[in-house]
Structures are given as structure tokens and as C-alpha cells.
């Protein structure tokens, strides 16, 4: 069966791609996780956490797509300091209720995010499924966010239809070859040649990869994840990324 690759971009002033966040500390990875990308597709498709309605792609189909992410601008890790349930009057019965139902109080959390990052995301699979995803990203049914609902994309996810962008399509090409040869996204924004990295980092699904991520979604209701093997590589040259 012929393979195709579809590429799109994720860019915004704030992004967060945590995979280990619990309670008062919310982390962020250096690039979008697979569970986040699949969740983004589900939002665009209007697909609930369960498998209904049946006329939309199943979670297993979306998760099975081979994923590669290229960091065209790494961004910087920043920290937001949050408080919830605070009150200026000590006598007010106000706060965040505890898990056991007892009266709560002020909750302080630290939430990490990436500032000014830009990623090229590629998925490899059967053309019809990729087209369904591309159509959904062009007119998402639910809000699209970059890891948190407060972090929307700042520019369109879909790439221009003119050459050399070709709307993100690379027919008959695997995702690794496609993402390595695709033009640098900074050429579409206000970034200058002086800010262009000498090398671009790529993290891709690889069954023989030595790195692991616990971000392969097996279910969102309840949330269940398994291990994914990945490999990190770099573009060998800037050829094709002009």
C-alpha cells in the first residue's frame, strides 16, 4: 500500500506538552507528545473521549499513524506561578475543596511552558485518513489548543498550498524523508535568516529507538497510556530548508 505524509505546523507564544504532570507541578516536554497530537486530532474531528460516534476515525487508527516532530524553533522553558481559591478576607469560607470533601484553602501550582516555540509535525499513513485529518484541521469542530486550553495557535496550522509548501503533502514519501527535506518554517513568519538554526532536531516514532515516552494513548476515558519508542536525529544539512 502506498504511503503518504501530511505535515502541519504548531506555533504560538505559549505551548505546554506535559506527560508527567500531577497535582501542583505541571511539566512540559521539549516537543509535542503523541497523546497531545492525537488529542488535537480528536478535538478537530469533534470526537468525544469515548469511541462515539462510530463514523469518525477510531482512537487506535489515529494513534497508529507514524509521528515525527521537527523543532524549527525550540523556544524557551518558562514558568507560570498560579494560585487558586485564595481570599482576601480570612473569614470567608472559600477555597479549593480537598479530595476527601473537607474544606480547602489556597492551592499554589507551578506550570511550565514553552515560549515562542514552533514545530513541524508530520504523520504517515493511508491517504484517506490523512485527508480526513487535514480537513478537520482546516475547520475544527472544537477548540484547538497547544497543550492547554489557554494556549491557542497564533498562526494557521495548515501550510500554504503554493510551492514549495504544497499544503503539507508529500505523496509516496515516508515521514522521516518528508520532515527532513521540508522547508524551514521560519521562512513563513517574521524570523530572519540570522535566527535560523544550524541544525533542526527531529523526534520520530521508531520501534527500534532507544528512547521511550509514556504517551501512546490507549484510551481517554479513562486515560490510559503505554510506552512509545522514539529516535532523536538531526537534519544533516540545511538543504531543502532554505
Higher pLDDT, 190 or 239: 190
Question: CA–CA separation, 196 vs 17, rounded Å?
Answer: 23
Task: Please give the model's pTM, rounded to 2 decimal places.
Answer: 0.87
CB contact set of 34 (below 8 Å; sequence gap of 6+): 63, 67, 205, 213, 215, 216, 217, 228
Q: What Cα–Cα distance (Å) separates residue 116 from each residue in 14, 111, 212?
A: 6, 16, 26
Question: CA–CA separation, 136 vs 28, rounded Å?
Answer: 26
Whole-number pLDDT of residue 109: 77
Each residue's pLDDT tens digit, 130-180: 999 999 999 999 999 999 999 999 999 999 999 999 999 999 999 999 999
Dihedral sign from CA coordinates of 59, 18, 180, 159 = positive
Whole-number pLDDT of residue 240: 45
Higher pLDDT, 27 or 175: 175
| Class for the domain spanning 4-76+115-234 | alpha beta
* 213-221 mean pLDDT: 91
Each residue's pLDDT tens digit, 64-122: 999 999 999 999 999 888 777 665 555 556 666 666 666 666 777 788 899 999 999 99
Domain boundaries, the chain: 4-76+115-234
- Tally of CB atoms within 10 A around 184: 21
Residue 140: exposure state from Cβ atoms within 10 A (0-12, 13-18, ≥19): middle
Whole-number pLDDT of residue 50: 79
Q: What is the 3-state secondary structure (H, E, C) of the chain?
A: CCCEEEEEEEEEEEECCCCCCECCEECCCCCCCHHHHHHHHHHHHCCCCCCCCCCCCCHHHHHHCEEEEEEEECCEEEEEEEEECCCCCCCCCCCECCCCCCCCECEEEEEEEEEEEEEEEEEEECHHHHHHHHHHHHCCCCCCCCCCCCCCCCCCCCCCCCCCCHHHEEECCCHHHHHHHCCCHHHHCCCCHHHCCCCCEEEEECCCCCEEEEEEEEEECCEEEEEEEEEEEECCCCCCCC
Q: Looking at the predicted structure, is the pLDDT value of residue 237 above 50? A: no
Using alpha carbons, select from 45, 53, 16 the residue that is nearest to residue 151. 16
Amino acid at each position: 500500500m502506498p504511503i503518504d505524509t501530511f505535515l502541519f505546523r504548531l506555533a504560538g507564544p505559549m505551548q505546554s506538552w506535559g506527560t508527567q504532570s500531577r497535582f501542583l507541578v505541571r511539566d512540559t516536554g521539549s516537543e509535542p507528545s503523541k497523546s497531545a497530537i492525537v488529542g488535537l486530532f480528536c478535538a478537530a474531528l469533534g470526537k468525544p473521549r469515548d469511541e462515539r460516534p462510530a463514523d469518525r476515525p477510531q482512537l487506535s487508527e489515529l494513534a497508529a499513524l507514524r509521528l515525527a516532530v521537527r523543532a524549527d524553533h525550540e523556544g524557551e522553558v518558562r514558568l507560570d506561578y498560579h494560585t487558586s481559591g485564595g481570599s482576601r478576607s480570612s473569614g470567608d469560607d472559600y477555597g479549593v475543596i480537598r479530595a476527601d470533601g473537607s474544606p480547602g484553602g489556597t492551592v499554589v501550582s507551578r506550570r511550565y511552558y514553552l515560549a515562542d516555540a514552533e514545530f513541524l509535525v508530520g504523520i504517515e499513513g493511508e491517504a484517506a485518513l490523512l485527508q480526513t485529518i487535514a480537513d478537520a484541521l482546516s475547520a475544527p469542530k472544537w477548540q484547538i489548543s497547544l497543550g492547554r486550553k489557554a494556549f491557542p495557535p497564533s498562526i494557521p496550522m495548515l501550510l500554504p498550498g503554493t510551492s514549495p509548501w504544497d499544503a503539507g503533502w508529500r505523496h509516496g514519501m515516508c515521514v522521516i524523508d518528508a520532515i527532513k527535506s521540508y522547508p524551514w518554517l521560519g521562512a513563513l513568519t517574521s524570523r530572519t535568516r540570522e535566527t535560523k538554526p544550524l541544525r533542526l532536531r527531529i523526534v520520530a516514532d521508531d520501534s527500534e529507538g532507544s528512547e521511550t515516552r509514556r504517551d501512546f494513548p490507549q484510551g481517554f476515558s479513562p486515560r490510559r497510556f503505554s510506552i512509545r519508542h522514539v529516535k532523536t536525529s538531526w537534519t544533516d544539512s540545511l538543504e531543502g530548508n532554505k
